[in-house]
Amino acid sequence: MNSEKYCPLDYTMNLIGTKWKPIVLFHLLEGPLRSGILQKKIPGISNKMFTQTVRELEKDVLVIREVFPVVPPKVEYTLSERGKSLKSILLSLDSWGANDATNY
């Protein structure tokens, strides 16, 4: 990695800087959630976008997807250790948003 062109903020934003990724990660701070329940906690996200988002988070090792061998299929998402390391960032963003929304 060329240190002249490396920007830690750019790196972080490439991992979590979409509209939906921080929201998915934030809800998973509560603990493991079934796929359908997690999706219902995110108003406005389409099935396609939800699937794309959790797949990208899984690929980046921020979430772990567990499939249970039952009928009907049960899929659960949980934060990986790497994902849990974002807790303070996600809580700070939530706090800032709550404070800013009351001021404007």
CB 24 within 8 A of CB 54: yes
How far apart are alpha carbons 92 and 2 in whole angstroms? 30
Tell me, yes or no, whether 46 lies in a domain.
yes
Tell me, yes or no, whether 54 lies in a domain.
yes
Instruction: Please give the pLDDT value at position 1.
Output: 52
H/E stretch holding 14 reads: helix 8-16
Tell me, yes or no, whether 1 lies in a domain.
no
Number of domains in the chain: 1
* pLDDT band for position 96 (cuts 50, 70, 90): very high
Tell me, yes or no, whether 88 lies in a domain.
yes
Number of helical (H) and strand (E) elements in the chain, helices listed first:
6, 3
Quote the pTM value: 0.90
Tell me, yes or no, whether 74 lies in a domain.
yes
CB 78 within 8 A of CB 63: yes
Tell me, yes or no, whether 29 lies in a domain.
yes
Q: What is the CATH number of the domain that holds 89?
A: 1.10.10.10
pLDDT per residue as tens digits for the range 12-60: 999 998 999 999 999 999 999 999 999 999 999 999 999 999 999 999 9
pLDDT per residue as tens digits for the range 2-16: 567 889 999 999 999
The range of the structural domain enclosing residue 69 comes to 6-100
